[in-house]
Chain A
Amino acid sequence: MRQRVLRVFDQHISAAGATALGRAAARAGLSTSFGEALTDIARADGLNGYATEKRMGDTLGVYDELGLMVAVDNVSSTSAVNFDLWLDHSSDGLNWLQRSQANQTPPFHTGVGDVRLSVSQFSPGVGWYSTSGRGRSSAATSDATGPLLHYVRLYMVIASGTAHVRVHAFQRDRATPKQR
């Protein structure tokens, strides 16, 4: 049954990442409310990515089934650019793995994201992703559909320019008959 609907990210992002919009937003007090530019990850994987807030990590991982609806608008680029979103998870909030990468080996957040949208100033995008977590995740068998670890975050990158991104998360669960 549906347990919860959350707005987990609502912020402008920039291809320049934390060095531009992220820090400006932080100074303006927006970062703590809506999202967080991750300078450490930008350095680590060479991408200027944005992730959902740390405090969201625990909330996003509570229920077994997770759905996302992603809306990208206010795009600065007049030509089409790629927006990618990946789902990461972790048990300690410190070491994160990109869930869809079956071999679990860095670099993460390369190639096509769990959600990829081609957007431009004249063509905003809406995308969708969901997982039931009812398979198996194992590097040994190259599977990546198993139950989530404790913490979940969303990692987002736009290839060029800036855009406004809004992400709603839908959480579902198998409830026992008694609870219904």
Chain B
Amino acid sequence: MRHRTFVVFDDYANTGGIETDTRHNATLGEYDQLALHVVGDNASVANVTVNVYVAHSSDGRQWLYRSNNQASLPGTADVSITLNSTTDVEHKMWSDACLGSMASGPLLSFVRLHVVTVGGGAHVKIHATQRGASR
């Protein structure tokens, strides 16, 4: 069942990239199923792309991107939205029941999101919804 929904990121992101706050790392990894809803607006210029990548770790120190199982950024983001103008608002989601193996398997203990933009900056808000077996 659904256990928790919370805002995990609500900030201005830019081309340098930024991670979600460390206080969310343990929280994001708590339940088996994870869903993310990414809303982007307030782009600094037209055609800004917002990319969000899911990374996980067992020690909270060394991180692997989940979709490529490497420490280096995957070629394709887990969520990617393009803001066509400075007044555009776009949103997309990503969710995984994590029942497969490796890139679709169970999450490691800690989870964080890497948010990076291409072509300019933008305001990004990310909601996380966590699901799992009933208690």
State the A residues within 8 Å of B (CB). 3, 61-64, 89-92, 95, 97, 104, 133-140, 146-150, 173-176, 179
Contact = CB atoms under 8 A, between A and B. Distances in A.
A136 B95 contact: yes
Contacts of A175: 133-134
B35 interface: yes
Contacts of A174: 133-134
Contacts of B37: 90-92, 95, 97, 149
Contacts of B34: 147
A133 B131 contact: yes
Contacts of A146: 35, 94-97
A179 B135 contact: yes
Given A64-B33, A149-B127, A135 B2 contact: no
A176 B133 CA distance: 6
Given A135-B99, A136-B104, A147-B131, 14 more contacts: A3-B134, A63-B2, A64-B131, A95-B39, A97-B37, A133-B95, A134-B99, A140-B94, A147-B33, A147-B35, A148-B95, A149-B93, A149-B127, A179-B134
B39 A149 contact: no
Main secondary structure of the interface of A (DSSP, over half): loop
Contact of B94 (A3, A62, A137): A137
B80 interface: yes
Main secondary structure of the interface of B (DSSP, over half): strand
Contacts of A64: 1-2, 33, 131
Nearest to A145: B97
B19 interface: no
B91 interface: yes
Nearest to A64: B131
A176 B77 CA distance: 34
Interface in B67-107: 76-80, 89, 91-97, 99, 104
Contacts of A63: 1-2
B129 A91 contact: yes
Contacts of B39: 92, 95
A53 B80 CA distance: 30
A138 B98 CA distance: 13
